[in-house]
Amino acid sequence: MTTRSFGSGIRRREDPRLITGKAPYTDDIKLPGMVHAAILRSPHAHANIKSIDTSAAASQPGVVAVYTGADTDGVLAGMPCAWLIPGSDLKTPEHPAIAKDRVRYVGDAVAVVVAGTRYEAEDALEHIEVEYETLGVVINPKAAAQPGAAQLHDDVENNIAFTWAVAGGDADAAFAAADVTVSDTITLPRLIANPMEPRSAVASYMAAMGELTLWSTSQNPHIARFLTSVVTGVPEHKIRVIAPEVGGGFGSKIPYYPDEAITAFCAMKLGVPVKWTETRSENYLATTQGRDHVEEVEMAATSDGTITGLRTTVYAGMGAYLSTAAPGVPTILHGLMYSGAYNIPNISGTIYGVFNNGTPVDAYRGAGRPEATTLIERLVDLTAAALDMDPAEFRRKNLIPKFENGHDVATGIIYDSGDYELTLNTCLANADYEGLRAAQAAARAEGRLVGIGMATWVEICGLGPSQVAGAVGFQGGLWESAIVRFHPTGKVNVMVGSSPHGQGEETTFAQIVSEELGVPVEDVEIIHGDTDNTPMGWGTYGSRTTVVSGGAIAFASRKIKEKSKELAAHLLEAAVEDIEYDDGRFFVRGSDDQAKTIQDIALMANVAWSMPEGMEPGLEASAFYDPPNFTYPFGTHLAVVEVNAETGHIDLQNYWAVDDCGVQINPMIVEGQVHGGVVQGVGPALWEGVVYDDNGQPLTGTMQDYALPRADLLPDINVASTTTPSPHHPLGLKGVGEAGTIAATPTVYNAVMDALRPLGVNRVDMPLTPEKVWRAINDAKNGG
């Protein structure tokens, strides 16, 4: 009867409307009387504002209003930081939505013009006169943390926003006793998330009712509502946040931004709806960026090839202010993962969150884990080299052996389940590792620079137990909820608090309901993204939506199944204990020719003509799922590159991925996530990175300068998987949204370093642009 689709790669139902451009985004919203905002942004990375004269701008054609920071005094609260890491001496200096007397990065909002059309607003911006007094600028996060560096916030000494430590075992003793130690300094470039859709907000305020509606490009509308309430003072129950179609986020649409608050402010002041949409240039200045780490790292091992210790000192650039979730990224999502996929008994890390004169940094796909995986995997390769061991063999020796239900690591977290060696072996077999090494040896004999790199990685995701969220200072919960509602015709609406935006959960969530209750997958509609018609939820990020929302959907479906059984027993005049369920049908054990389908049940529950004693009408259930632990997906990736010694060009020739994200609801979507993730992870290894000049001016301010991965520069990606269910998840799911991004950066970086090894080159700063590689080669040749 039912087409079983759980576990099969059915097509993504969201694609037709997305691909044909029919789906409405925030910028498509047009309200009667709507006016348009444009934001003046600081051209200086650090300056005092001596004066602002808006009079000329105010008299430009079409201009409705011009506001500066002073106008928001007493109206808008400062922008909140919502991840307050305990025990880290965290400083949260004031972050006004519109700068008041000082700007701290190129892109800081200075004033806003509201006009009848977007063009009029943009033209009027040029008539605002701002007198600046420029101040010293600091960009490199390590340099920013040194005494004497330019200070961004008067009350934050050495720009250090927080200092967070992670420790397990006795790292110093391990290093003292080690046979071999290696060290490195790794730079993870600052990255731009580059969603296809820039950010946008439309605000409408009904003063008579005191109601604020905000359409917003948010990955988490419920958090946006909560924080809009904090910043604007409008009570939470009078705010409706709607995230229509959201064209990608990659983490950059998690934060609550000044621009949304400014748009709401304008709408409340003016009493008419206001739209603000970011230009691509603005996106490159004002939308949070990722990574920006300087990592000083060391590994200790014994001569038999056993890793005994890891030490790090990390300078994590925060940009000019602490964005919504920023402090959690280089700490909880980074330092806790220092054991990687290995038994590393002794770990110590110190992470400095450092203000610098750049765009604020926050979560970007992988968020903290690529930065951890890169340093671990690089150190593993360096240690293997120091011991003259094959890096695959060295990994195998140190991987945590297979476990099915819990493994403690030195950083204090408990991995759920893993079979790391299986992914390593599968990947090596798929790639014909021995054959690759033989081909490499032959190429090296001809003087060619061929390299093989790998990463055996594990990540923390499926965020997460709310109790832990509280313990680590996250100013919210991390559970999800779902309402599953059957209509009389047997069709189903599922309302979720998470907010999928392209990942494919409208399809996979429907597959879950279909699997649990035997309804055809096309009879299930997923509703999300509107705080007025979805239950509370904490949003879509951290590879958590399928896992946590999916858990809530499964439990709500199971409640429905229980009620349906009772109703079926009543209708079939049998005892509940005698009712069996199979694929959408309820029947008395032994006589399955007389069954009630889930559709029969839905109809009866909705008309309620004959219900068991005391049973409420309707077929609807709600569940709140707070996961008992995080999930820990893992895998092995391997890449082959060839470096042109004459030019420094890197040819990425082959890529193999073996991922384990637990049970797969839809393997095609898993594969798609791995593909996209790998490409986004290769980006910073080879091409991507924001560059500022000494004055804090971005030199990579357009897509003509900031090099995104291009299809013609990438090989086919060979994707395979293993399945190790999460023991604590109702469906065995682990999450896959960030896997590729976490694995690919170290995989490709290691491959290039392996290619350069015969020349004695051991490190080059990412991204590995041809010139940097060429210089490293020449320096090595000249005995440098």
| Nearest distance, CB of residue 686 and other proteins, angstroms | 8
Minimum distance from residue 299 beta carbon to other proteins (Å): 32
Query: Restricting to residues 93-152, which ones interact with other proteins according to CB under 8 A?
Result: 118-119, 122-123, 126
Opening angle at CA 652, ends 646 and 657, nearest 5? 155
CB of 123 to other proteins, least distance (A): 6
Q: Report the b/e string of 10-47 with b at 16+ CB within 10 A.
A: bebbbeeeeeeeebebbbebebeebbbbbbbbbbbbbb
Q: Tell me which residue has tokens 């509602």.
A: 485
Q: Give which of 338, 320, 350 is closest to 162, Cα–Cα.
A: 350
- 3 state DSSP class of 419: coil
Determine the residue type at 412. G
Structure tokens at 435: 């054959």
- Does position 56 interact with other proteins (CB under 8 A)? The reply is no
> Considering the complex, what minimum distance in angstroms separates the CB of residue 281 from other proteins?
6
Q: What distances in angstroms separate CA 7 from CA 496, 529, 718, 737, one per listed residue?
A: 21, 26, 20, 17
| Site for other proteins contains 607 (CB under 8 A) | no
Q: Is 74 left (phi over 0), alpha (psi -120 to 50) or beta?
A: left
| 484 residue type, one letter | V
- Which amino acid is it at 683? G
Q: Which of 412, 705, 760, 784 binds other proteins (CB under 8 A)?
A: 705
By C-alpha distance, which of 37, 171, 54 is closest to 115?
37
Determine which residue in the list 687, 731, 738, 749 makes contact with other proteins, applying CB under 8 A: 687
Amino acid present at 450: V
Q: Which is nearer to other proteins, 607 or 699 (CB)?
A: 699
Burial readout 160-185 (b: 16 or more C-beta within 10 A, e: otherwise): bbbbbebbbbebeebbeebebbbebe
d(CA 382, CA 181): 9
Verify binding: residue 59, other proteins, rule CB under 8 A: no
Give me the least distance between CB of 684 and other proteins, in Å please: 13
Looking up tokens 């037709």 gives: 16
Looking at 11, 235, 771, 784, which residue binds other proteins (CB under 8 A)?
771
- Smallest gap from Cβ 273 to other proteins, in A, equals 20
- What minimum distance in Å lies between the beta carbon of 773 and other proteins? 11
Check residue 653 for interaction with other proteins (CB under 8 A).
no
Figure out which of the listed residues 436, 443, 572, 691 binds other proteins, where binding follows CB under 8 A: 691
Span interacting with other proteins, options 48-56, 142-150, 380-388, 764-772, rule CB under 8 A? 764-772
Least distance in Å: CB of 712 to other proteins? Answer: 9
- Does 555 contact other proteins by CB under 8 A? no
- Looking at beta carbons only, is 127 or 240 nearer to other proteins? 127
Q: Least distance (Å) from other proteins to the CB of residue 644? A: 9
Q: Is 708 in the site for other proteins (CB under 8 A)?
A: yes
Range 269-308, binding other proteins (CB under 8 A): 279-282
Which residue, chain included where needed, has tokens 């390769």? Answer: 381
714 scored as a contact of other proteins (CB under 8 A):
no
d(Cα 184, Cα 187) in Å, to the nearest integer? 10
DSSP code for 403: B
- C-alpha distances (whole Å) from 263 to each of 273, 277, 529 are 9, 10, 19
Q: At closest approach, how far in Å is the CB of 380 from other proteins? A: 29
Cβ count within 10 A of residue 774: 18
Q: Does 60 bind other proteins (CB under 8 A)?
A: no
Q: Which stretch binds other proteins (CB under 8 A): 4-12, 158-166, 707-715, 741-749?
A: 707-715
Among the listed residues 164, 415, 420, 706, the single contact to other proteins using CB under 8 A: 706
Tell whether residue 699 is a contact of other proteins (CB under 8 A). yes
646 interacts with other proteins by CB under 8 A: yes
Is residue 780 a contact point for other proteins (CB under 8 A)?
Answer: no
Give yes or no for a contact between 286 and 256, defined as CB atoms under 8 angstroms apart: no
Question: Which residues here bind other proteins, judged by CB under 8 A?
Answer: 118-119, 122-123, 126, 279-282, 646-647, 687, 691, 699-700, 702-708, 710, 713, 769-771, 774-775
